[in-house]
Amino acid sequence: MTALTEHDAIVEITPSAGVQVARHGWRAKCLQRLVRMNLPVPTSFAISSDAVRAIAAGQMLDRSRLAAIIERAEGLVSVRPSAANPAWGGPGTVLNVGINDACHARLVETRGKAAADALYLGFVQSYAIHVARLDPDMFSDSGGDLGVALRAYEAETDEEFPQDPTRQLAEVLRSMARAWDGPTARLLRQAKGAPPVAPLGLIVQDMALAIGPGVTGSGSIQLIDSMTGMPRITGRFRGQMQGRAKGQGAETLYLTRDPRGPSLEEAAPEVFADLVRYGVAARERLREEMQVEFVVSDSKLAIIDAVRVPRSSRAGVRIAVALARDGVIPAEEAVMRIEPRALSDLLHYQVDPNAPRDLIAKGINASPGAATGQIVFTAAAAQAAEARGERSVLIRRETVPEDIRGMHAAVAVLTERGGMTSHAAVIARGIGLPCIVGASGISIDLRARTMQADGRTFHEGELITIDGTSGEVLAGEAEMLEPALDDSFNQLLEWADELCRIRIRANADTPEDARTARMFNAQGIGLCRTEHMFFDDERLPAMREMIFAEHPEDRRLSLERLLPMQRGDFIKLFEIMAGLPVTIRLFDPPLHEFLPHDREGMRELAESLDLPLSDVTRRVEALSEFNPMLGMRGVRLGITVPEIYDMQARAIFEATIQASHNGAPVVPEIMIPLVSARREVELVKTRIDAVAAAVRNETRKDFTYRLGVMVETPRAALRAGEIAEHSSFLSFGTNDLTQMTYGLSRDDAGRFMGTYVGQGVYADDPFHILDQDGVGELVAIGTERARAQSPGITISVCGEHGGNPESIAFCLRAGVNYVSCSPFRVPVARLAAAQESI
C-alpha cells in the first residue's frame, strides 16, 4: 500500500501543513487552528486516516520516522483519536507513550520518585489493557505500586515490559487503529450517524507532564455555562493528576477564586489570565465557544486540545445568538446552527437530564414537555383535581372528544393506545400539554382505579411524571428545568423569519390557541377545527338536540341556538388574529362522536331531551358506523345535513362584519373537509354563496371571503386540477391523507407502529414524518395539477406534518405557500423552514 510513504502518513501540525478534516479528523484540524493562533500547543503530528486503515490491516509506519518523533526532548508522547466528526468518539487517549526504566530514572531526578512512579504506572496500566489486552482487574492488587504492576505484567505476558519507545508507539497506534475497526465501536458510532466506513486519524503529541514540582496539573476551562449559555468561567484544575495517574499531593482546585477552597487563579494568576485570554481568542478565531484542555507544568502552560463546549438546548441558542450579535458569525449561520427540534425543549418544562429517572413505561412522544401530577383515570377526576388546585395526569386507554375538558384540566396525558395523530396526541400538541400515547406497556384497571406498569401497581392519586419529549413515563416527581423563552430565543426566530421563503401558520381552535399562535408569531391560522368548539357544557346539549332532531325545522331551531355561540367564537378569533388570515374548517367529524357511549350517559341524555331511553339508544345505534373515519363525516355530512354548514357560514360572515367594524378588515377563509369529488365543492359553494348573499342583504354590509378545500383523500389529490377550479386555496390534510393512502388507522396504528419501524417496514412513523415517497407524491401531484389549472392558487399543508422539520423541508420543495401546525410547534417550524430556505 502506497499510503504509508512517510510524507503522506504523518504530518507535523504546523500553521502551513496540509491538515484536512476529511483526512486527519476534526481534532487535527482544531489543533492546527490553535497552532495558527500561536497558542502554546506541544509539538503534534497527525496520522492520516488512510495510514490508520493500513495500520489496522497489519502494515507498519516507517520505524525511523516514529523513532524520530518519540526520541526528542523528554521522549514522551500521547496518542489521541481524531475522527472526522467529534460525535463519533474514538478509542481512548493513551498518555506517556515512550516511558521506560531509563526515562523513569530521569523523571525521578527531575520530578521526584512519586511523580515518576505515577506516570510510569499510568502507562503500564493503559498499555496492559489496550495493547496487551489484559484484564484491568489484574492491577487491583498492585495498590498503586509500580514494581508490583510491572511484575504482574511480566507474569501475565511472559515478557518484560517493552522498553523500546518506538515499539511502544507502534503498538499503541496499532491497538487504537484496530479498536476503531471493532464491531462495538462501529455500532456506537453508527448510532451517532457515522457511515459504516468512517475515517479515523490519530494525533501523536509531545506530553506536557501534569505531575511534578511547582504548580503542576491538568485541567479544562470554558467561558460559558453549559446549562444556561451565560458567560461564566467553569471547569476544573486537577493538581498533580494526569489521566488516571495521581502524583503526591494530588488535589482538585477551583479555577476562579472561591471561598470553598484554593483556586488556580490564586495559585498561578498569570496562567489563569492566559487561559482566559486564549478562551476569548479561540471563540473569535474558531467561531465557537470552546472547552480548552490544558496542562500546567511548573507554572508553564500548554494547550493540548480544545473541543466545542457541550451544551443544553437553551445554551445552544444563547451561544449562537451571542456569537452573531458580537459579529463573530453571520445571523444566517446562527440560524443554521440550531437543531429546530431543540427549540421545543425551550418552550416547555423539561425533566432535568442530569436528574435520576424511575422509568416505568415508554410510549410515543406525542407532545413535548414534562409534568408531574397525581394519577387520575377520568376526565371528571381531572376536573375535580383542578377544582381542588391539584395537578393531575389523565390516564386513559385512549381519549375521546368528551375528554377534552379533562385534558384541559390535567397537566399531562398518557394513553395506552393511539399514534401520533390520535385524538389525545392532536389535542395535547394543540394546547401544549405533555403527552405520551401508545404506551402499550401499561394496563389500566378502571374499576380498581389502578395502573400496572413495570410490574408495579400505581393507584389513583399517586404521583407520576410524563416526559412527553422522550416518551418516558416516570414514577414519582422528577426534577424539572423551566422553559426559556428569552431574548435569545426571540432574536433567533426573528432572524429565521427574515430568511424564510414560506409562511408558517398555526392550527388553532380556541382563543387561547390563537393567543399562543400570536405569541409565537404565527402568520395566521391555517386550520381552525370548529368541532372542538362544541364540547363545552353549554353547547353539547344544543348539539345533541340538533343531532336528535327528527325534522329540518327542529334542527333549524337547535342550530339557531348554536349560531350566536359560533359567531362569538369567530369574532374572538378574528380579533386576536388582528387581520391575519384565519382559515375555518367546516364541521368534520361523524355526528355520533357527540353522543354518549355508555348507558349512564344515554340515560342522562334521555332525561335532558325528555325522550324515552329506548329512543335515544336506537338513535345512537342508528348513527353508529362500522368505519366512521370513512363514513358520514366531513363534506358528506355537509351535503346530507346542509343546515350545519349553513349555520357555520352565517356565523363566520356575521363575525366578519362585526370584527371588521371593530378592527382590522377580515377576509375569512372557509375550508371544506374530506372532499373527494368536484361536485361536492360545487354543492357546498352554491349554498355558502347563498348564505353570503343573504347576510349581505340583511346587513347591507359587504365583505369578501375565500373558499377552499382540504385535500385529504387520494382522489382529491389526483383530481386537484378540477377541484381547484372552484377553490381559492387547497390545504393538504396529511393526517387523513396518510391514513387513506396507507389504509392505516390513525387511531390504532400505535399498536404495531413500534414493530413496523423496528423491523424497517416503515423508515419512520408516517403520521409523524411525512412519507415522501407515497403521501408526498400525492402532495406533489396535487400541487402540480392545481397550479396547472389555477397558477395563483394558495397551497398549504395543515396536517401534523406541518410542524415536523423533515416534512417542512419536503413541503418547501413541493412548492407550498405555507404550513400550519400546532401553536407550540410554530417556533420549530419557523426555524426549520428558514434553514431550508437558506
- The catalytically annotated residue of 798, 801, 811, 821 is 798
- Residues 294 and 239: beta-carbon distance below 8 Å: no
Report helix, strand or coil for 456: strand
Asked if 457 and 375 count as a contact pair (C-beta separation under 8 A), the reply is: no
Q: Which partner in Mg ion, ligand PEP, none is near 363 (CB below 5 to 8 A by kind)?
A: none
Among 798, 816, 819, 829, binds ligand PEP (CB under 6 A): 798
167: left (phi over 0), alpha (psi -120 to 50) or beta: alpha
Cβ(96)–Cβ(76) below 8 Å: yes
Q: Which is nearer to Mg ion, 510 or 713 (CB)?
A: 713
Decide whether 658 or 735 has the Cβ nearer to ligand PEP: 735
Show the site string, 680-719: x = touches ligand PEP by CB under 6 A, - = not: --------------------------------x-------
Say if residues 132 and 153 touch (Cβ distance below 8 Å).
Answer: yes
Q: How far from the centroid of its chain's Cα atoms is residue 338's Cα?
A: 11
Catalytic residue among 24, 423, 592, 801: 423
Q: Nearest distance from residue 732's CB to Mg ion, in Å?
A: 10
Minimum CB separation of residue 532 from Mg ion in Å reads 13
Strand segments, DSSP code E, in 476-529 are 480-481, 503-507, 525-529
Grid cell in block for residue 396: 386513559
Which range binds ligand PEP by CB under 6 A, 97-105, 129-137, 386-394, 730-738? 730-738
Q: Residue 89 burial (CB < 10 Å; 0-12/13-18/19+)? A: middle
- With contacts defined by CB under 6 A, name the span among 42-50, 110-118, 189-197, 732-740 that binds ligand PEP: 732-740
For Mg ion, give the closer residue by CB, 570 or 732.
732
Which C-beta is closer to ligand PEP: that of 516 or that of 739?
Answer: 739
Which parts of 331-369 are beta strand (E)? 350-351, 359-362, 364-367
Per the CB < 8 A criterion, the answer to whether 339 and 312 are in contact is no
Query: What does the block give as the cell for 468?
Result: 412527553
Provide the edge-to-edge strand list for the sheet that holds 359-362: 359-362, 472-475, 463-467, 370-376, 392-396, 412-415, 435-437, 364-367
| Residue with smaller CB distance to Mg ion, 275 or 797 | 797
Cell 451565560 appears where?
A: 230
Q: Which region among 88-96, 382-390, 731-739, 750-758 touches ligand PEP (by CB under 6 A)?
A: 731-739
Smallest distance, Å, CB 798 to ligand PEP? 5
Per rule CB under 6 A, is residue 735 in the interface with ligand PEP? yes
Exposure on the CB side of residue 79, measured as CA atoms within 13 A? 30
CB of 728 to ligand PEP, least distance (A): 18
Rounded to whole angstroms, the Cα distance separating 22 from 77 reads: 24
Residue 355 burial class via C-beta count within 10 angstroms: exposed 0-12, middle 13-18, buried 19 and up: exposed
- The answer to whether 736 contacts Mg ion (rule: CB under 5 A) is yes
Q: Is 24 a catalytic residue?
A: no
Find the part of the chain contacting Mg ion (CB under 5 A) among 132-140, 252-260, 467-475, 711-719. 711-719
In the bound state with ligand PEP, the residue whose beta carbon lies nearer, of 413 and 737, is 737
Residue nearest to ligand PEP (CB): 733
Q: At closest approach, how far in Å is the CB of 716 from ligand PEP?
A: 11
* Interface stretch with ligand PEP, choices 81-89, 257-265, 318-326, 734-742 (CB under 6 A): 734-742
Quick one: what does residue 799 bind among Mg ion, ligand PEP, none, with the CB cut-off 5 to 8 Å set by partner type?
ligand PEP
Q: Which is nearer to Mg ion, 279 or 733 (CB)?
A: 733
Pick from 733, 766, 805, 823: which binds Mg ion (CB under 5 A)? Answer: 733
Following CA atoms 560, 564, 569, 572 in sequence, which dihedral angle do they give, to the nearest 10 degrees?
160
The CA distances from residue 24 to 30, 31, 61, 204, 523, in Å, are 10, 11, 16, 12, 47
Could you give the dihedral angle defined by the CA atoms of residues 537, 543, 549 and 554, in that order, rounded to the nearest 10 degrees? 90
Q: Is 130 in the site for ligand PEP (CB under 6 A)?
A: no
- Closer by beta carbon to ligand PEP, 211 or else 798: 798
Q: Which of residues 559-618 bind ligand PEP (CB under 6 A)?
A: 588
Q: Residue 585 Cβ, how far from Mg ion at the closest point, in Å?
A: 8
Count of residues engaged in binding Mg ion, rule: CB under 5 A: 3
Distance between CA atoms of 478 and 482, rounded to whole angstroms? 13
**Of the candidate residues 736, 765, 771, 836, the single one contacting ligand PEP (CB under 6 A):** 736
Q: Among 91, 369, 799, 805, which residue sits at the site for ligand PEP (rule: CB under 6 A)?
A: 799
CA distance 757 to 760: 5
CA dihedral of 109, 111, 117, 120, whole degrees rounded to 10:
-90
Taking the C-alpha atoms of residue 297 and residue 293, their distance in angstroms, rounded to an integer, is: 14
Enumerate residues 376-435 that contact ligand PEP by CB under 6 A.
426
**Closer residue to ligand PEP, CB minimum distance, 52 or 671:** 671
Region of 169-177, 261-269, 472-480, 729-737 interacting with ligand PEP (CB under 6 A)? 729-737
Q: Print the binding letters for residues 516-555 with ligand PEP: x by CB under 6 A, - otherwise.
A: -----------x-x--------------------------
φ, ψ of residue 445 to 5 degrees: the values are: -115, 100
Is residue 400 within 8 Å of residue 597, measured between CB atoms? yes
Least distance from ligand PEP to the Cβ atom of residue 383, Å: 24
* Measured distance CA(731)–CA(734) in Å, rounded: 9
103 noted as active-site residue = no
Q: Does 531 bind Mg ion (CB under 5 A)?
A: no
Using CB atoms, what's the residue nearest to Mg ion?
736
Pairing of strands 44-47, 10-12: antiparallel
Residue 527 touches which of ligand PEP, Mg ion, none (CB < 5 to 8 A by kind)?
ligand PEP
* 117 or 747: CB nearest ligand PEP: 747
Separation of alpha carbons 34 and 19, rounded Å: 13
Of residues 793 and 798, the one with the C-beta less far from ligand PEP = 798
Q: Which amino acid is at 521?
A: N
Q: Given CA atoms 641, 645, 651, 654 in this order, what sign does their dihedral have?
A: negative
Of the candidate residues 168, 372, 660, 734, the single one contacting ligand PEP (CB under 6 A): 734
Residues serving a catalytic function are 423, 798
Q: Interface residues with ligand PEP (CB under 6 A)?
A: 426, 527, 529, 588, 712, 733-736, 798-799
Q: Interface residues with Mg ion (CB under 5 A)?
A: 712, 733, 736
